[in-house]
Structure 1
Amino acid sequence: SVEIADGARRTVSALRKFQLTMAMGDPDKKAAPVHLEIPPVVVDMDAGYGNLFNVQRTVELYVNAGVAAAHLEDQVMPKRCGHIAGKALISADEFVGKLKMMRSAADDLGHKDFIIIARTDGVSATEAPESKRGLELAIDRGLRYLDSGVPDLLWCEFPTAERGPTEEFCTEIRKRFPKARFAFNYSSSFKWFNEKDPVTWDELGLLGVGFIFITLAVQHAAGYGISTLLNDLKQSQEEGYMALQRKEWADGVDIPTRSHHLFSGVPYHHHVGQKYGASRLSEEMDEHLEISKVV
C-alpha cells in the first residue's frame, strides 16, 4: 500500500506541475496560458492489504497523497484478478467494517468528500460464507453494503460483457435504494467489438451508473502506438518518426505530450528556480537551436 500511495502522490504532483506550467504558458513557442482542471485521481485499493487497520493506514496514505477516491473489494487476501476463476469472499460483516474504517479515516483527516467505491465479486465467487452464489449473492452483498450508509458508489464485477446481469443487478439494487449510484468496469478483458448487443454508456447512465472506467485502456493504446511506431521505423527508417511528428504537430491537434519540455514542466521549473535563486539556470535553449525547430 505504501508503494501504491507513493505512486498516487507522484501522479497528483505531476498533474499539479503540468497545471501550473500550462497556466504560465510558453511565449517562445506561442503557447498561451491555459487553465486546466486537474482530474480527480481514483486509486485501486484491492482488498485493503490486510485487516481493517491496514485499510485505515492505506486510506491515510491515499488521502495525504491527494487521492480523490478509492475502491475496495470484498475478496480474501491474497486476492485474484476480477476475471480469474476461484475467487473467495470475506464475510459481509468484515467488509462493512472495512468500509466504515475507510470513511472514519478520511473524515478524521478532514476529507469528508473522499469518495468510497464498494466492489463486490459475488457474481463469480466460488467461495463465500453465504450459501447463495452468482448474481443473487452479488445483489445481497450490494444491498448489505449500501445498508451501511458508507459507499458513494457500488461496483459489481461481472465475468462477461453480457448486458443482462448488469441490468438486473442495477434494477434490483434500485428497488430498495432508488438513488443508488454505480461504478462500472468497461473491462479490457472483454472483446466488446464481438458482442452482438453491447450495453451503451448512455444505457448505463440510465441504470444509475455514475462512473465508467476502462481498466488498462491507456496501456493498450500505448502498446498499440509503440508497436506501430517501431514497425514504421523498421519499414521507413527516419520517415517513420517524421510521420509521427507530423501527426502530433498538425493544425488543430492538441496533444499535451507532443512537447516533452512543456509536458515535463520545464517552464515551471525555470520560473521557480529563478524565483528562489537556483544557480546555473536559464530559460534559453542551446544557441544552435532555432525555437521553431524544437519541441
Structure 2
Amino acid sequence: MTQTHGAKLRRLVEARKGTLLPGAANALAARVIEELGFEAVYISGAGVTNTWFGMPDHGFMGLSDIANHTAAIRDAVDLPLICDIDTGFGNAVNVYHTIRVMERAGASAVQIEDQVNPKRCGHFSGKAIIGTDEMCGKIKAAADARRSEDFLIMARTDARAVDGFDAAVERCLAFEAAGADIIFLEAPESVEELRRLPNLIKAPQLVNIVVGGKTPALSNAEFAEMGFSLVLYANVALQAAIHGMQTALSALKSGQDVSEASGLVASFKERQRVVRKPYFDELEKTYAD
C-alpha cells in the first residue's frame, strides 16, 4: 500500500534528524523545492500574505487564501505539506472547521499558534498571546476534527517574546498534553535555549530559522544533533526571489544585458521545464483526436 503524505511526514518527524523544511509561498516555489530533493514543504502564511497581497504578516490572510494555495500546491507536488493556519481563524469551533477545510485541501499537517488576533510574524515586536487554556481548547478541537490519524497538529507558542523562555516551555508542555503532535517554540534567543529544548519537551519539535531573525542560525548538523525533528526556513526562497527580481529589474532599467547569457534570469527553456510544460505537451498528444 502506498504511504500517505501524512504517514511520510510522521516518519520524518519521529526520526528527529533535523529534516530541512523549506517554505513555499506558491506552487512555483514548491515545484523548485521538490525538484531539489527536499522531503517536505512548509506553506508559509507570511509568504502567502507577502506575495498574494504585497502586505506584511499581520493577520491579513484568511482561511480561503491558505486553503486555495494549499490545494494548488498539492496538485503541483507530491510531498507532505505543512500549512500555516495562523491562529486558526477564530475560536476552537472555527479551528474545528479550519482543520476540515485544510485536510480536504490536501494538507498533511497544520501549524496553529497562540497569538491574539491580528497575529504578527514571530520575529516582530509587539506580540500578544491568548491564555493557555484557550489555546489547549483549539488544539483539542483540531485533533478531534481531523479525519486521518496521520494528519498532524503542530502547536506553536510565541510566549518566549512575551513571558520568557521558561513560561514558553510550560505552555509547550500543556500543548503536548492537549494532543499536539509537534511542538514549535518560536524565536529562542540563544544557543543555550536551543540546546535545552529537546531535553525539556518529549514531543517532536521544530526550530524556525528566519534570515535576519532572533534565533541563532546554527548548522543543520547541529540542530540534528540536538534532537530537533524539523528545521524550518520558511521564507529563504521568497527573500531570494525578492533579491533576484530587484537585481534583474534594476539591470533592465539601467540598460544592462538581461538575456539568458547574463546570468540574471533562468532560461526560457528552464522556466518551461520547472512548470512541467513537456508533461502537459504529452498529455495533449494523448488526448488528441
Structures share a fold, TM > 0.5? yes
Tell me the SS of whatever aligns to 1:78: coil
**In the aligned structure 2, how far is the partner of 1:91 from the partner of 1:262?**
49
Larger Rg: 1
Residue in structure 2 matched with residue 241 of structure 1 by the alignment: 259
**Counterparts in 2 of 1:123 and 1:258: CA distance versus 1, 3 Å:** farther
Residue in structure 2 matched with residue 113 of structure 1 by the alignment: 150
**In the aligned structure 2, how far is the partner of 1:244 from the partner of 1:59?**
46
8 Å contact 1:73–1:121 — kept in the other structure? yes
Task: Name the aligned partner's letter for residue 155 of structure 2.
Answer: A
Shift of 1:92: 1.4
**Counterparts in 2 of 1:134 and 1:146: CA distance versus 1, 3 Å:** same
8 Å contact 1:233–1:241 — kept in the other structure? no
Residue in structure 2 matched with residue 268 of structure 1 by the alignment: 279
Task: Name the aligned partner's letter for residue 151 of structure 2.
Answer: F
2:256 aligned with 1:227? no
**Counterparts in 2 of 1:258 and 1:63: CA distance versus 1, 3 Å:** farther
**In the aligned structure 1, how far is the partner of 2:264 from the partner of 2:269?**
10
Residue in structure 2 matched with residue 135 of structure 1 by the alignment: 165
**In the aligned structure 2, how far is the partner of 1:7 from the partner of 1:53?**
23
8 Å contact 2:160–2:167 — kept in the other structure? yes
**In the aligned structure 2, how far is the partner of 1:234 from the partner of 1:5?**
37
**In the aligned structure 1, how far is the partner of 2:275 from the partner of 2:234?**
25
Residue in structure 2 matched with residue 281 of structure 1 by the alignment: none
Shift of 1:154: 0.7
Residue in structure 2 matched with residue 166 of structure 1 by the alignment: 194
Residue in structure 1 matched with residue 204 of structure 2 by the alignment: 181
Tell me the SS of whatever aligns to 1:82: coil
Question: Looking at both structures, which has the greater relative contact order when contacts are Cα pairs under 8 Å and sequence separation is at least 6?
Answer: 2
May I ask how many residue pairs the two structures share in their alignment? Answer: 227
Residue in structure 1 matched with residue 184 of structure 2 by the alignment: 155
Shift of 1:84: 2.2
Shift of 1:78: 1.9
**What TM-score results when the alignment is normalised by the length of structure 1?**
0.68
8 Å contact 1:188–1:215 — kept in the other structure? no
**In the aligned structure 2, how far is the partner of 1:88 from the partner of 1:242?**
48
Identical positions, percent:
30
Runs of 5+ in structure 1 lacking a partner? 16-37, 126-132, 250-256, 279-295
**Counterparts in 2 of 1:93 and 1:258: CA distance versus 1, 3 Å:** farther
**In the aligned structure 1, how far is the partner of 2:101 from the partner of 2:90?**
15
Shift of 1:235: 5.9
**Counterparts in 2 of 1:258 and 1:190: CA distance versus 1, 3 Å:** farther
Task: Name the aligned partner's letter for residue 169 of structure 1.
Answer: L
8 Å contact 1:123–1:138 — kept in the other structure? yes
Runs of 5+ in structure 2 lacking a partner? 1-62
Tell me which of 65, 68, 81 is aligned to 1:3.
65
8 Å contact 2:153–2:180 — kept in the other structure? yes
8 Å contact 2:99–2:142 — kept in the other structure? yes
**Counterparts in 2 of 1:86 and 1:246: CA distance versus 1, 3 Å:** closer
Tell me which of 101, 104, 122 is aligned to 1:82.
122
The aligned runs of 1:55-70 (5 Å cut-off) are 55-70=95-110
**In the aligned structure 2, how far is the partner of 1:271 from the partner of 1:202?**
42
- Tell me how large the CA RMSD over aligned residues is: 2.6
Residue in structure 2 matched with residue 202 of structure 1 by the alignment: 221
Shift of 1:94: 1.5
Residue in structure 2 matched with residue 20 of structure 1 by the alignment: none
**What TM-score results when the alignment is normalised by the length of structure 2?**
0.70
Task: Name the aligned partner's letter for residue 199 of structure 1.
Answer: L
Task: Name the aligned partner's letter for residue 76 of structure 2.
Answer: A
**Counterparts in 2 of 1:99 and 1:166: CA distance versus 1, 3 Å:** same
**CA deviations over 1:182-216 (Å, ceiling 9, x no partner):** 10101124288xx7xx5332222222211111121
Tell me which of 232, 235, 240 is aligned to 1:216.
235
8 Å contact 1:48–1:58 — kept in the other structure? yes
Task: Name the aligned partner's letter for residue 175 of structure 2.
Answer: Y
